Structure 1
Amino acid sequence: MKLPEAFADKMKNILGKEYEAFEAGYDMPRQYGLRVNTLKISTEKFEHIAPFHLTKIPWIENGYYYEEEDAPSRHPYYYAGLYYLQEPSAMTPASRLPVNPGEKVLDLCAAPGGKATELGARLRGEGLLVANDISASRAKALLKNVEVFGIPNSFLINEVPGNISDRFEEFFDKILVDAPCSGEGMFRKEPEVMKAWSEDKPAACARVQKEIILQAAKMLRPGGMLLYSTCTFSPEENEQVIQYLLDNREDFELVPAKGYDGFSEGRPDLAGGNEELKKCVRIWPHKMQGEGHFLALLHKKGDSLNTGAAAVTSAVQDGQQKEEKAVVPASEGLKGAKNITKTDKAVLEEFFCDVYMDIDWSRVEIRKGQVYYVPGALGEQRGVNFLRNGLYLGELKKDRFEPSQSFAMALHKSDYRICLNFPWTDSRVSKYLRGETVTVDDMPIKRQRGWQLICVNGYPLGWGKLVNGLLKNKYLPGWRMR
C-alpha cells in the first residue's frame, strides 16, 4: 500500500526506528472482529453455539476474531442481535470506560453504534444511555443497531454537542467521546479514508475535537469518568487535545485505563512534555492485531463513583434463568396505571397478559397511538431533537395492539408466552428474515391464531401472526435480509 508522502514523513518523525515495521504492517491482511452482546447471551454460551472460526481477542472480554469466509453478517444470530461486527481495536474505548448498571451514560459521537451498543449492554437495562450523532442519516443507523441489540433504556438524539450540554450540565456519570478524526488508523481497513486524507486535515479535526471535549466536560458530573478516543495517529488530535482539556479544566485528571501488554503509552514529547500524558493509550497496528487507535481516560474531581471492574462482565441472565422469575404477566401492573385511558388499557391488557416482563406502567407514554416505555432516569427534556425516547413497544389501533420490532428484540424467549422457535438451520428462518410467509403446521403451537414471537434457537427475531396454519410475516421491511 502506497502511503501519502506527507503522512509517511510525519510517521517517520513520530516512530523513528519503528517506522519500517509500521509501514510493513500495511501489507498484512486486516483483522475481522465481532463483539458478543452480553445483554442477550454469555460469551461461554456464544462460543458453544456459534458456527464460526473464533479466536479470542485477548484484551476484549467479549471480543473475537473471525475468518472472512464465516460471513457472520448473513447468519440469523446477527439478526437476533447476538453480536456486533466491529474492528478489534475499535472495541477498546467502550471496554475501558467502566460502566455500571444504573448509571447515566452518554455516547456523544455514537453512530453507527459500535460503542453505544456495548455501553448499553453493560447497563443491563438499568439507568440511561443517551446516544447522539450530529448526522441525521448516521443517527438512523445508530437507532437500528441499538434496537437490534435490545437496549430498552436509551434516548437517541441528533444534535450538536453545544445544544446537549446546555440541557444536560453535570448530568452524566460516564461519557464516551469517540471524536470525528482524520482516520489515519483506518488506512489499511478502509483505503478510501487514505484517499480523502490531506496534510491539513488533522489540524482541522483538532479544532472540532477541542470544542467537543470541552462540551463533554461540562456534561460530566463531579466524580464521573470521561473516555476520549480517536482512530488516528496524529498528536494534534490525540495528546494535544487531552492537554488542551487539562489546561482549560483544572478539575480533570488523567487516570490509567485497564492495561494490556500490547498497549503503548501516550507521547508527552508530542504535546509539550507533560508526563501525565503517558497514561494515554496508543494502539499501533504493527504491535497488535488491530488497526490504529488512541484513548485517554479522565476523571472529573469531586464525589467519587463506583468505577470498579464489576462493570466489565460477560454475565447474562439467559432464558432459563429469567423463566424462573417470570411468573406475573405484565398486564397485572396495568390495573394501577393512571396515565392510560380505559379503552387503551383494555387493548393493552389483552396483549400483555402473554408478556412476562417487568414493566413500570407509570413510565409508559402513548403519543398519537404510539406506545413508548421511557427511561425513568431521564426526566422531561424539551428542545432536544430526538429519534427515540426509550423502547418503542408498538402501536394502538382501533381494537388491537400491534407490537413493534424493537419490542421483540428487547425480549427474551421466556418473556412472551407464545413463541415459535426454529433451529438456525431451518430454511424457514431465512425465508422469515426475507419477509416471506412460512408454513408452521408441523410445529408445536400453543395458540392457533394471533401474535407469535419468532425465535431462532431461543433468541427473538421478530413477530409473526398466525392465521390458518400460515405465519403472516411481521418482520420489519427495512431490516429484511437481502
Structure 2
Amino acid sequence: MELPAAFEKRMQDMLGAEYTAFRASYNEPHKRGIRLNTVKCTKEQLERALPFTLVQTPFSPLSFYAPTDTKMAALPLYHAGAFYSQEPSASSAVTLLAPEPGDKVLDLCAAPGGKSTQIAALTGDTGLLWSNEVVRNRAAILSSNLERMGVRNTVVSSVYPEMLAEKLGGYFDKVLVDAPCSGEGMFRRDPVTVQEWSPEHVETCAVRQLAILSSAAQCVREGGILVYSTCTFSTEENEGVVQKFLESHPEFVLEKPNVTFGRPAYGVDAVRIFPMDGGEGHFAARFRCVAPCEERFAPFGFKPDRETQAHAEELYTSLFTDVPGRFQRVRDRVILLPNELPDIAGLSVLRAGVEFGEAKKNRIEPAHGIFMASRAENCRSVLHLTSNDPALFAFLRGEEIPAEGLSGYTAVAADGIVTGFGKASNGVLKNRYPKGLRTHL
C-alpha cells in the first residue's frame, strides 16, 4: 500500500525501530470486528447463531474479531440489532469512559453510532444517552442505528457543540469526544483518507479538535469524566490537543488509563493503539472535572395529554408485560420519552426516546421502533424463528409469512431477538417491517 512520504517520515520519527513492523502491517488485511449488543442479546445467543467463532479483542469485553470475508449485513441478527460492526480498537474509548447504569452520558460526535450503542450496552439503557452529530444526514444514520440496536433512553440531536454547552452546562456525568480527525488509523480500510491526508490537514484538525473539546468540557458536572479520542496517530491531534486543553482548563486533571491494552502515549497519561496492537489505530485520554462548574440546564417541559397517555398505556399493556413510561404526542406521532430528560427546546432534535406509534382516530398504530426496543420475553405475542428459517428472510424482505395460532400485533424474533413485528390473522402475519429497511436476502 502506497502512503504519503511525509506521513511515512513522521511515523519513522515517532516509532523508531518499530516502524518496520508498522509499515509491514499495511500489507495485511485490516482488522474487522463486531460488538455484542447486550441491550438486546446475550453472548450465548450470539455465539449460537453466528457462522464463525467469537474471539475476544483486548479492547472491550463486548468486542470480538470477525472474519474479513463475512458479509455482516447478510446475517439476520445484524438486522435484529444483536451486534454492531465495529473496528476492534474503536471500542477502546468507551472502555476508558466506563459508563455505568444510571449515568447521563453525552456522545458529542456520535455518528454513525458505534460508540453510542456501546455506551447504551454498558449503562443497560438506563439514565440518558445524548448522541449528537452536527452533520444532519449522518445524524439520521445515527438515529437509525440506535433504533436498530433497541436503545430507548436516548436523545439524538444535530447541533454545534457550543450550542449544547450553552444549553446543557454541567449536566452530564460522562462526556465522550471522539473527534473528527485526519484518520491516519483508517488508512488500511479507507484509501480515500490517504488521498485527503496532508500535514496542513493535520494542523487544521488539531485546531478544530481543541475547540470541540473545550465545548464538551462545559457539559461535564463536577466530578464527572471527559474522554477525548481520535483514530489518528499524529501527536498534534493527540498529545498536543491534550496538553493545550489542560493549559487552558485548570478545572480538569488527566487520569491514568486503567487499561491493559495498547501502549502509553508520548508525554501524557493516555493510551495509544497501533496496528501492531490488534486494531487499526486509536488514541484516548481521560479527564476528570475537579472544580465546581456552571450549571446551565432546565428540566424537560412535559405537557401531559391524558387522552394520549390513556390510549398509549392501553396499547402498551396489550403488547408488552413491562411497565410503560411517559408518552407525548408530537403531531401524529406518539413518543415514549426517556426516563431522564432535560429541556430540549431550541435544539435540533431528531429523536427523544423511542417512537411508540402513530395516532389515528381514537387509537394508536404501533411503530417498528417500540418493538425493536423490547425483549422477546416482554412481548405478549411472539413468532419465534431461527436465524436460518426461510420465513425470517421472507419477513426481512417485507413479505407475509405463516403465523399459525397467533393473532393481533406480534413480534418476530430471530433466535429469541426481536427483529420487527406484524399483525397476525387467520394464520398469516401481515408484514409491518419498514419499507426502507427491507432487504434482498
Give the TM-score normalised by structure 1: 0.86
CA contact (8 A) 1:109 1:178 kept: yes
Counterpart code for 1:455: A
Counterpart code for 1:114: G
Indicate yes or no: 2:399 matched with 1:401.
no
Other-structure match for 1:460: 418
Q: How many Å separate the matches in 2 of 1:383 and 1:338? A: 17
Higher mean C-alpha displacement, 398-407 vs 130-139: 398-407
Counterpart code for 1:439: P
Q: Which runs of 4+ in 1 moved over 3 A?
A: 340-344
Structure 1 residues 169-318: aligned runs within 5 Å: 169-260=169-260, 262-268=261-267, 277=268, 279-286=269-276, 288-302=277-291
Other-structure match for 1:325: none
Other-structure match for 2:133: 133
Q: How many Å separate the matches in 2 of 1:113 and 1:23? A: 30
The 3-state SS of whatever aligns with 1:68 is: coil
Other-structure match for 1:2: 2
Query: What is the CA distance between 1:47 and its match in structure 2?
Result: 2.5
Indicate yes or no: 2:398 matched with 1:428.
no
Query: What is the CA distance between 1:466 and its match in structure 2?
Result: 2.0
The 3-state SS of whatever aligns with 1:396 is: strand
Counterpart code for 2:33: G
Other-structure match for 1:273: none
Q: How many Å separate the matches in 2 of 1:241 and 1:17? A: 26
Query: What is the CA distance between 1:347 and its match in structure 2?
Result: 6.8
Other-structure match for 2:310: 345
Query: What is the CA distance between 1:43 and its match in structure 2?
Result: 2.2
CA contact (8 A) 2:317 2:324 kept: no
With over 3 angstroms needed to count, the CA separation of the structure-2 counterparts of 1:42 and 1:350, relative to structure 1, is closer
Give identity over the alignment, percent: 37
CA contact (8 A) 1:351 1:401 kept: no
Q: How many Å separate the matches in 2 of 1:338 and 1:128? A: 20
Higher mean C-alpha displacement, 173-182 vs 455-464: 455-464
With over 3 angstroms needed to count, the CA separation of the structure-2 counterparts of 1:350 and 1:214, relative to structure 1, is closer
CA contact (8 A) 2:182 2:205 kept: yes
With over 3 angstroms needed to count, the CA separation of the structure-2 counterparts of 1:232 and 1:344, relative to structure 1, is closer
Q: How many Å separate the matches in 1 of 2:150 and 2:341? A: 19
Query: What is the CA distance between 1:344 and its match in structure 2?
Result: 6.7
CA contact (8 A) 1:344 1:396 kept: no
Counterpart code for 1:16: G
Paired residue for 1:479, among 425, 429, 437?
437
Q: Which runs of 5+ in 1 are unaligned?
A: 269-276, 304-336
Q: How many Å separate the matches in 2 of 1:39 and 1:395? A: 25
Q: How many Å separate the matches in 2 of 1:159 and 1:347? A: 31
Q: How many Å separate the matches in 1 of 2:172 and 2:357? A: 29
Other-structure match for 1:385: 348
CA contact (8 A) 1:25 1:285 kept: yes
Query: What is the CA distance between 1:343 and its match in structure 2?
Result: 7.4
Query: What is the CA distance between 1:390 and its match in structure 2?
Result: 0.9
Q: How many Å separate the matches in 2 of 1:354 and 1:267? A: 55
With over 3 angstroms needed to count, the CA separation of the structure-2 counterparts of 1:194 and 1:301, relative to structure 1, is same
Residues 330-381 of structure 1, C-alpha deviations (whole Å, 9 max, x = no match):
xxxxxxx993344773475155323212223xx2111223111212322322
Q: How many Å separate the matches in 1 of 2:30 and 2:207? A: 30
The 3-state SS of whatever aligns with 2:155 is: strand
The 3-state SS of whatever aligns with 1:377 is: coil
Q: How many Å separate the matches in 2 of 1:341 and 1:359? A: 14
Q: How many Å separate the matches in 2 of 1:208 and 1:246? A: 16
* Superposition CA RMSD, Å: 1.8
The 3-state SS of whatever aligns with 1:471 is: strand
Counterpart code for 1:38: T
Other-structure match for 1:416: 379
Q: Which runs of 5+ in 2 are unaligned?
A: 293-301
Counterpart code for 2:278: Q
Q: How many Å separate the matches in 2 of 1:180 and 1:124? A: 27
Other-structure match for 1:334: none
May I ask how many residue pairs the two structures share in their alignment? 431
With over 3 angstroms needed to count, the CA separation of the structure-2 counterparts of 1:241 and 1:338, relative to structure 1, is closer
Query: What is the CA distance between 1:21 and its match in structure 2?
Result: 1.5
Other-structure match for 2:322: 357
Counterpart code for 1:289: G
Counterpart code for 1:283: I
The 3-state SS of whatever aligns with 1:352 is: helix
Q: How many Å separate the matches in 2 of 1:220 and 1:375? A: 20
CA contact (8 A) 2:309 2:328 kept: no
CA contact (8 A) 1:254 1:298 kept: yes
CA contact (8 A) 2:392 2:414 kept: yes
Query: What is the CA distance between 1:299 and its match in structure 2?
Result: 0.8
Query: What is the CA distance between 1:10 and its match in structure 2?
Result: 1.2
Counterpart code for 2:190: E
Counterpart code for 1:356: T
Indicate yes or no: 2:359 matched with 1:369.
no
Other-structure match for 1:314: none
The 3-state SS of whatever aligns with 1:100 is: coil
Indicate yes or no: 2:76 matched with 1:76.
yes
Residues 371-427 of structure 1, C-alpha deviations (whole Å, 9 max, x = no match):
112123223221110000111111121243211111111111121211111111210
The 3-state SS of whatever aligns with 1:156 is: strand
Q: How many Å separate the matches in 1 of 2:311 and 2:204? A: 57
Q: How many Å separate the matches in 1 of 2:303 and 2:64? A: 47
Q: How many Å separate the matches in 1 of 2:311 and 2:225? A: 45
The 3-state SS of whatever aligns with 2:162 is: helix
The 3-state SS of whatever aligns with 2:199 is: coil
CA contact (8 A) 1:53 1:67 kept: no
Give the TM-score normalised by structure 2: 0.94
CA contact (8 A) 1:32 1:67 kept: yes
CA contact (8 A) 2:387 2:415 kept: yes
The 3-state SS of whatever aligns with 2:15 is: helix
The 3-state SS of whatever aligns with 2:244 is: helix
